[in-house]
């Protein structure tokens, strides 16, 4: 009998619950962010700014459960930007794809790197594997505890070659991406939020311009995305995160920057609903979350900023100042060990 990812059993030899990740049985971790990092840890990775317009290798972190400025975490394997998403379990975080500029002198290139970190331990990243479909910048990426899903993006840069490819990785195992299915169209800089069972993804740019559609896939299966609903704002370079119940999506370019925050209920199909506003209008921000808070960091107003905002996920209202990044940064990715997929 072929087992699907997500099947659960009790291993009497090891006296522990196990989950099948699609390839093998792995132990279910009875841990929490509080045990691992003293609260949910968010790590902001890569990006660019005025002093490093061709990309940064800086990683910085904060405790999402409190407020305050970020602290240095370590360095990526090389400078990059244009990542727009992150994959993480309770223990491991992945930053996938992006744009790498061969300093000095260039030229730049889109890359298929996947960098990994252990979230509870500060230090430099290590190699995880490669994207199966080749070099890609501006993909979306979200996960549950077992699987990370990478969707959309572009190869190029000239001409721009957008993709609808969806691939996945098993977070606990080093290796390359595996084909999952397709999005409904060719999408650049999409975003998304996830529960333990479902990933809702969308917004961004298609060949016809910016779009506001949302679609979904089920983590434990493979296959093509299906229609979920729409957002009220039609924009590119938005970002999203959430808990197991709600997805929160914000910011973007219409082409002017917007401060709108919207939310959707992950378990039910339907359109996003107004939530409130960011402290300032911006695009190309990054997002990370705990079970109670959504945090939005950096971005462009169009000037690149170091702003960090947060909202309480299960309420509605305007964002509140959280703290500052180490430097002004945009076009970066982020992971946490307490998001909605865990």
Structural domain total, the chain? 2
138 and 241 assigned to the same domain: yes
Residue 178 and residue 266 in one domain:
yes
Cα separation, 44 vs 63, whole angstroms: 12
Q: What are residue 192's DSSP bridge partners?
A: 201
Residue 220 Cα distances to 8, 121, 184, 196, 303, angstroms: 12, 29, 19, 9, 41
Q: When comparing pLDDT for 38 and 59, which is higher?
A: 59
Residue 37 lies in a domain: yes
* 49 shares a domain with 15: no
The answer on 9 and 58 residing in a single domain is no
98 and 230 share one domain: yes
Q: What is the CATH number of the domain that holds 168?
A: 2.120.10.80
Q: What pLDDT, on a 0 to 100 scale, did the predictor assign at position 282?
A: 97
Please check whether residue 97 lies inside any domain of the structure: yes
| Highest mean pLDDT of the ranges 92-106, 143-157, 311-325 | 311-325
Same domain, yes or no: 137 and 238? yes
Any bridge partners for residue 185, and if so which?
Answer: none
CA 251 to chain centre: 15
**Do both 292 and 317 map to the same domain?**
yes
| CB-based contact 74:122 (threshold 8 Å) | yes
pLDDT score for 229: 98
Residue 190 and residue 84 in one domain: yes
pLDDT of residue 34: 78
Domain that holds residue 156: 31-336
Is the domain of 68 the same as that of 206? yes
What average pLDDT does the segment 51-73 reach? 95
Same-domain check for residues 97 and 6? no
Give the tens place of pLDDT for each residue, 18-57. 776 566 666 665 577 877 888 999 999 999 988 888 889 9
CB atoms < 10 A from the CB of 165, how many? 23
């Amino acid at each position: 009998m072929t087992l699907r990812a997500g099947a659960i059993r009790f291993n009497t030899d090891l006296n522990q619950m196990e989950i099948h990740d699609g390839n093998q049985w792995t132990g279910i971790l009875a841990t929490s962010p509080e045990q691992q990092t003293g609260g949910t840890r968010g790590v902001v990775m890569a990006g660019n700014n005025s002093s490093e317009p061709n990309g940064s290798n800086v990683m910085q972190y904060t405790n999402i459960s409190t407020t305050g400025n970020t602290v240095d975490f370590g360095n990526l394997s090389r400078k990059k930007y244009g990542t727009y998403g992150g994959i993480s379990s309770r223990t491991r975080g992945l930053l996938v794809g992006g744009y790498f500029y061969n300093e000095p002198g260039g030229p730049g290139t889109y890359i298929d790197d996947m960098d990994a970190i252990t979230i509870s331990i500060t230090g430099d990243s290590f190699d995880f594997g490669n994207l199966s479909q080749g070099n890609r910048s501006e993909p979306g990426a979200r996960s549950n505890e077992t699987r990370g899903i990478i969707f959309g993006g572009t190869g190029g840069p000239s001409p721009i070659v957008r993709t609808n490819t969806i691939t996945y990785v098993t977070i606990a195992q080093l290796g390359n991406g595996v084909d999952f299915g397709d999005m409904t169209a060719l999408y650049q800089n999409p975003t998304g939020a996830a529960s333990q069972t479902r990933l809702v993804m969308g917004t961004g740019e298609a060949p016809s311009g910016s779009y506001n559609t949302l679609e979904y896939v089920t983590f434990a299966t493979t296959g093509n995305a299906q229609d979920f609903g729409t957002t009220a704002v039609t924009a590119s370079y938005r970002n999203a995160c959430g808990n197991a119940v709600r997805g929160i999506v914000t910011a973007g370019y219409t082409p002017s920057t917007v401060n709108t925050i919207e939310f959707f209920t992950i378990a039910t199909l339907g359109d996003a609903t107004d939530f409130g506003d960011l402290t300032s209008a911006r695009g190309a921000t990054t997002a990370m979350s705990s079970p109670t808070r959504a945090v939005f960091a950096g971005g462009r107003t169009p000037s690149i900023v170091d702003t960090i905002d947060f909202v309480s996920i299960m309420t509605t209202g305007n964002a509140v100042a959280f703290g500052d990044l180490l430097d002004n940064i945009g076009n970066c990715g982020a992971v946490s060990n307490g998001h909605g997929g865990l």
